[in-house]
A and B are shown apart, each in its own frame.
Chain A
């Protein structure tokens, strides 16, 4: 044994609150769906949809319009259910491949580990439709063989060293909220696969209010980070929709984007320093400076590396004082097009609030259906009045109007000024301020949508979201064309019910926007819904690329989008990526095989697309 590896147990890091998410995640979280076990949509005894639990604003409420909405838009029938399989037992999980000498060395380090089948299963997947469907209906061919919980950077260094020595595969695991199948174990992997769960590395190591930075371990999840920083009067402002569960390391590894990036920036703007453990050793910069010109930025090898080059252990990121004032708002537009034009103008004038999102009509109606039962007669009367004003007096067509939801943050007078400016611009595009409540409900929709999908699964619905970024001049047509393509592909594949297709513009930039789609359909009468769904989503992605859109804005490539990577970065780009991999990890220890790196099959699959001849005339 080489002496330079110190495999003794050692005290790690600073004291902090215990992690919010326990090692046995399944005790708190659903094992086959999204989020907390206690929170879910159910159809109650009155045949109305109700959200259980006490965690959320919606918890304990029924949504009287939701059932009818689901029945009307997507053809749900409460009599036709597809409940999930009851549980996953040891018998359903593949037997682990054991590298005994690695396990022996690991035990000597004293780092916590487990080969419990449920622990392993929980780390075998993210939250793509495919993965959740397997949990509900099937079984995985390959799951991690061992779960290891390092508690500090040095633990990770040790684990990686041992894995290299014993030729064991490492797949880093943060919050498990990936939607790109990045966590999926390569089915043909014959070596032992270790899931390196960073959830116990969740400490804020220091906060520096001179430079306004915080140094945190990479396993910290979004809600803890914000909650603990808030105690000291700070925030990072990074709020991806998954922030309740996703981790800092995961954000870095997928190049995440937060809802409030207009003020705080995306992950690449927030990062000051990253500590990154690779098979060759630790990669990091020697200083924590706001900007540096040191050749190609090595941070950009780490950001978006999707677990194939190494694992993020510690991050220094910018922090901001907590905003004094936080205010929701909304604008109604006569149609989606004028909404897009307005967002473009707001982006041009660089006066976007913390968040601005434009929902299309379908999504607006969806949001509307999520309204809880109204408490008083008065409030429903007010609702009626509002509706009357917008549709009758202002002449908006309820079947074309679109709604922008807004979130303002900052000092009170700043917020007031910003509100004034935004609403002024909006009015030039026919927009009408429509109150805070609509705005807040819009944001709630994005938090509950994942819970709602689980309800859909019970009633023959398969659904998923996907996103892209696109230049402004092609934004509107991209939305139209992708929707058209989805409708058409559904029709051609014999889907019996009208699919639910909706989009929103979720982020604005100087040069373009981020567009987010929800797509789902009722698969009654179709034998292979997931396959059909994936085929259609692939068509949609092709359409997106044809429309000048990108492979992904913030979900990442993973495995489900890797077929588009060569087209996106070109042969040279991909070669560069592979050369970096080859240098850092020649034995493919970080063998998750994302991003078309690592798996020699990738090339074959992509290249063997048969080039069909032109269609023949029927003469």
Chain B
């Protein structure tokens, strides 16, 4: 394997006018439009530059730890009694989740563009930690906006960001979660747009962000496809990934989009159940609308006001979703399902006890759906799961839920 192959971005040209079918676009105040134009010109040029590719590839390999392995989860497979479960181990990436693929690439790009300051939003804190890490590495000041509710449930990641030199700005407006942190980050960017780059954390936002983040995360799917052929002996029947904004899902799906026989399954946060109204299943229960600069599925009321969401997982607790997911749903190329809090918790415990792996609660949603699917498939089928992050950050949440009676004994490990 050459250095470039180890982590170089997969080049797909930006979609015309930033549209994924009917979705996407640029719905932002005029003040930031010139900066989006600048980014839309600079990003494809940088990503196509062999020097940039080689340097980013080297960083991803020697600093971030790419390629990450794809692992056969033998005991989980035996538990579900059907298809083989294979896990793409993004939890082994530096900082503990796939988020660094994007943050490292964007901060490196911002440096090349001459930007002197970075802002970001974070929900679970993983994107904030990844961005703070990249900013430490590239010596750029970093401000991370985070909802006060999320700061409480992800306190360890707040400390990590501060230790890395970032400023964490609490956001108390609205629902005080990822949606409001994103709005606050966009307002900061609007105010300091000349010298600041906004590192958005998912495949959301105005063009070119959904394309840029997809391009930087596609390495997950490209590696996983090669590894499935080499280690598992063939392509998967289905690729399963959790979807909040949807960056790990788009990243792993990107490697298999042109394999027509491979099914793609996105797993949203079902919270307390779709019927309860307390969930974040945007594609399952929303309809098209505009939030944070893009037209995509959105959880909103009849008057177009964005609705509050709920998930036990802070990283999935978002009322929007990336426009490419809306297009994949509309075209039928991918399908989407929802997993409730209690099912995700059960999958968390099962994975811990059977495989010695603590998954992020976001990842646990994908594991729950993948396990259920595997049980319906024959033993020679393969289900590939994006193991998007590790669960150390979620221990307080899991222990509190266990104490409240929603723990391992309810569904068994």
Decide whether A and B are members of one complex: no
- Which residues from chain B sit less than 8 Å from chain A, CB to CB? none
